[in-house]
Amino acid sequence: MGKAERRYAAVVLDANVVIAALIREQGLNRYIVSLAPIIYSFFYPVALSSEILKHTEEIARKAGRSEYEIRLALKAILKRVKPLPNEKVARYLSEAQGFVKDPDDAVYVASALHLRYEEGFKQAILVTWNKRDFDIWQLMERWVRVLDPREFYTNYLRPPFSPIRVRRLLCCTASLEKVVEAALLYIGEHHYLIVNSEPPNKVEIETPCYMILVEWDDREKGYCISPQLLATGECIEKAQQPITEERLREIELARQICKP
């Protein structure tokens, strides 16, 4: 997936990721907050800055630096990230409360909902070290994806890697629309968005647990459906569930659609 296509997603940073980046200069958290904003649009609620500044003394002690240095580092990090004013985030705070265990986390969900509903992003990715405090699947229905920094790096900042191999499916139908239908049946997911479309030869699809490349293959005279399971804890757990009769019927229907 190229740089241009990756801009379909907005990223919201939780304070715990920024704090971790301040404590350790080298490492995944610093890489994400420093370099990933070059690829994606990064945002933070303005309340994040004041929240972090409350803990400057503790952060400085853990980092082995002065409070002044920590404040400078925070300023440098946030320079690459776009602030979301309180008045924009506040509109979604009430709705956001329904998706979090800790009321203090609602501001991050509200930021993501604002980006989805008012800024025109196809999805918002909330990067946090406290995934267990969020209703992951309910948020996913609204295309707010909750990932920890490792999952964000693995799935969105490096070449695709599938933790569980999914066989490709050759689809010998001329209708790209029917191929997309077959692809969704094949993986057993129906909630999707189009990441990139180059009809009639290529389309990239994202679902809650898969990235799917559909591309015309001249040699095979058909569309090759290539699913890639997202390397997240909940998606791996879902993929490892015993296959049901309903899933077998969906797979068979996908194959029927794809027959020459």
**Residue that finishes a domain, picked among 156, 181, 204:** 156
161 in a domain, yes or no?
no
Q: What is the pLDDT of residues 19-69, one digit of tens each?
A: 999 998 888 999 999 888 988 999 999 989 888 988 999 999 999 999 999
Q: What pLDDT does 158 receive?
A: 84
C-alpha distances out from residue 19 to 13, 45, 94, 218, Å: 11, 15, 26, 50
Q: What pLDDT does 1 receive?
A: 39
Intervals of the chain under pLDDT 50: 1-6
- Total domains in the chain come to 2
Place of tokens 């715990």: 16
Let me know whether 89 and 11 are in one domain: yes
In terms of Cβ atoms closer than 10 Å to its own Cβ (0-12, 13-18, 19+), residue 254 is buried
Q: What pLDDT does 4 receive?
A: 38
Q: What pLDDT does 51 receive?
A: 85
Let me know whether 130 and 225 are in one domain: no
Q: Residue 157 corresponds to which tokens in the numbers above?
A: 């900042």
163 in a domain, yes or no?
no
242 in a domain, yes or no?
yes
Q: What pLDDT does 156 receive?
A: 92
Closest-CA residue to 62 (of 26, 30, 23) = 23
Q: What pLDDT does 2 receive?
A: 38
Let me know whether 22 and 121 are in one domain: yes
| Domain encompassing residue 201 | 169-258
| Cis peptide, bond prior to residue 208, ω within 30 of zero | no
Give the DSSP H or E segment for 88: helix 86-90
Q: What pLDDT does 7 receive?
A: 52
User: Quick check: 107 and 89 in contact, CB under 8 A?
Assistant: yes
Let me know whether 63 and 175 are in one domain: no
150 in a domain, yes or no?
yes
